[in-house]
Structure 1
Amino acid sequence: MVQQRLDRTQIVESAIAFVDAFGLSDLTMRRLGTALEVEAMALYRHISGRADLLEAMVEELIDGLFDDELMTEAAHSWEEYLQRVANATRKLALGHPRIFPLIATQPPAAPWLRPPLRSVRWVEEFLSSLQRFGFSDGEAVAAYKAFTSFLVGALLLQAASLSPDALGEEGEGADESSKTDLAQYPTVQRLQDLLMEDQAQREFDDTLDDLIERIRTSRDK
């Protein structure tokens, strides 16, 4: 292979593109080296190993949220701020459905960092932003915990539904589902069309509205 000059950023961005295309289980240092047209050993000058690479991918995507157009404009209320952060994170999850489960489940650097907003930079941004809107220390921390739990719960399933990896090898899960005799389950059979409707955006918005209302109510007590 022809050696080329690499840096850590280029390797991490290439790894993200690789996983978007082929899935997380296919990512190895050797395969990534092949994609970059370098020997795998060349990657180790910048990345200590696969675990370091995975954490760097998570950091790259999470920090990238700050550049989202929803985040570059100042919010005029804490409700608007939560809506902006939530929808920017949703765009990330739907744009990288094969990586978002890693963001949601990879152990953070500290136990008080909660996915998906799992960097110290994000905790500082989130807490300080809410405090500018009058949140107390306790209210801001409680909102961070509730909000991150909402994001993981709401987005992990959406991301999985978009990723072929969620279906198992060669989509075998879908094949087994299609073979199920629904005549044995009359309620499911009758409601199948409703179950198949894609209401993801509306459900996300409604659940976010419910969360905002709960936070508002808790602050009024």
Structure 2
Amino acid sequence: MDADDVDARPGEAELHDEAGVVDDPRPLSQLGRDGILEVAIDFVDRNGLSQLTMRRLGAACGVEAMALYRYVHGRGDLLTGVVDHIIDRLYTDQLAARRQEDGWQDYLMRLAHGVRQIALRHPEVFPLVATQAPEAPWIRPPLRSLRWMESFLDTLISYGFDDASAVAAYRSYTTFLIGQLLLEVSARGAELHHEEAILEDSVRSSERSLADYPHLQRLQPMLSQDRSSAEFDEALEATLDRLELLLAGQ
């Protein structure tokens, strides 16, 4: 726990200077965990991830930092919750929207634009999406939401992809999507480095399991393989082929 997290409650002027709080914040009991996460997302959007501490978040909620620990168990749990909260919106809007008649290409197009919308709305938060999930740090490339990955794999398999092709599609699609969007948010001033504090503590992580994610369980050997060198060469070759077509079409 940071020393900054347990300081005494700041005065009213400090609350406004440090956190930009609303004039009449709701009681913490009315906010609950989801409300606290919404405040955290808004704080990061306005001030940047590096400025978010439990003390400042408490100020933004109108309470002492220690009062937050009933709802979030520390900075790692807070940031995991922030990512889950944002991805839950994506899940509702895009990931669960399986329209078999549209085909898998339409699904991937809608999903990509949904992820991009999140990245552009929350550029300071988005780099957290491209970090390791505490429950499955072996997934390559890393993505912090197991729900995202499970739904993605399940959908492709429902469209006729076998296990190997679904994993290959996950790798290629996620590498392109996350890489492209990290460049976009970086151009908007977001910091891309990741702090050690973003990972949940090992005790809470070890209590979790993959029981709710059968595809991830079954495909762990394939998803944990490091094929970055081969994938780099394949992506480079595909890019050169596309440039050749551009040259021929001049």
Q: Above 0.5 in TM-score?
A: yes
Amino acid across the alignment from 2:80: E
Match of 2:56 among 18, 22, 31: 31
Q: CA deviation at 1:106?
A: 5.1
Q: CA deviation at 1:112?
A: 4.2
Q: Does 1:15 align with 2:40?
A: yes
Q: CA deviation at 1:70?
A: 8.4
Name 2:126's counterpart in structure 1. Answer: 100
Residue deviations 1:163-214 (CA, integer Å, cap 9, x gap):
3658xxxxxxxxxxxxxxxxxxxxxxxxxxxxxxxxxxxxxxxx9xx79xxx
| Residues 1-221 of structure 1 mapped to structure 2, 5 A cutoff | 4-5=28-29, 6-68=31-93, 72=97, 74=99, 76-105=102-131, 107-113=133-139, 117-163=143-189
CA contact (8 A) 2:98 2:107 kept: no
**Kindly tell me: are residues 116 and 66 of structure 1, through their superposed partners in 2, closer, same or farther at Cα, counting changes over 3 Å?**
farther
Task: Please give the secondary structure, in 2, of the residue aligned with 1:160.
Answer: helix
Amino acid across the alignment from 1:60: H
**Kindly tell me: are residues 154 and 85 of structure 1, through their superposed partners in 2, closer, same or farther at Cα, counting changes over 3 Å?**
same
Residue deviations 1:93-128 (CA, integer Å, cap 9, x gap):
011001111222355430244567532322221112
Task: Please give the secondary structure, in 2, of the residue aligned with 1:48.
Answer: coil
Q: Distance in 2 between the 1:122 and 1:70 partners?
A: 7
Q: Distance in 2 between the 1:142 and 1:135 partners?
A: 10
Q: Distance in 2 between the 1:66 and 1:134 partners?
A: 21
**Kindly tell me: are residues 165 and 144 of structure 1, through their superposed partners in 2, closer, same or farther at Cα, counting changes over 3 Å?**
closer
CA contact (8 A) 1:114 1:148 kept: no
Q: Distance in 1 between the 2:68 and 2:62 partners?
A: 11
Q: Distance in 1 between the 2:56 and 2:156 partners?
A: 43
TM-score by length of 2: 0.60
Percentage identity across paired residues of the two chains: 51
CA contact (8 A) 2:83 2:145 kept: no
CA contact (8 A) 2:45 2:122 kept: yes
How many residue pairs align between the two structures? 169
Across the aligned residues of Structure 1 and Structure 2, the Cα RMSD in angstroms comes to 2.7
Task: Please give the secondary structure, in 1, of the residue aligned with 2:71.
Answer: coil
Q: Distance in 2 between the 1:81 and 1:107 partners?
A: 24
Q: Distance in 1 between the 2:85 and 2:158 partners?
A: 27
Q: Distance in 1 between the 2:153 and 2:58 partners?
A: 40
The structure carrying a bigger helix percent of its residues is: 1
Name 1:184's counterpart in structure 2. Answer: none
Task: Please give the secondary structure, in 2, of the residue aligned with 1:149.
Answer: helix
**Kindly tell me: are residues 144 and 4 of structure 1, through their superposed partners in 2, closer, same or farther at Cα, counting changes over 3 Å?**
closer
Residue deviations 1:3-61 (CA, integer Å, cap 9, x gap):
64241111111101100011001100111111111111100111111111011111111
Is the deviation greater in 107-116 or in 7-16? 107-116
Q: Distance in 1 between the 2:182 and 2:78 partners?
A: 21
**Kindly tell me: are residues 143 and 39 of structure 1, through their superposed partners in 2, closer, same or farther at Cα, counting changes over 3 Å?**
same
Q: Distance in 2 between the 1:18 and 1:80 partners?
A: 34
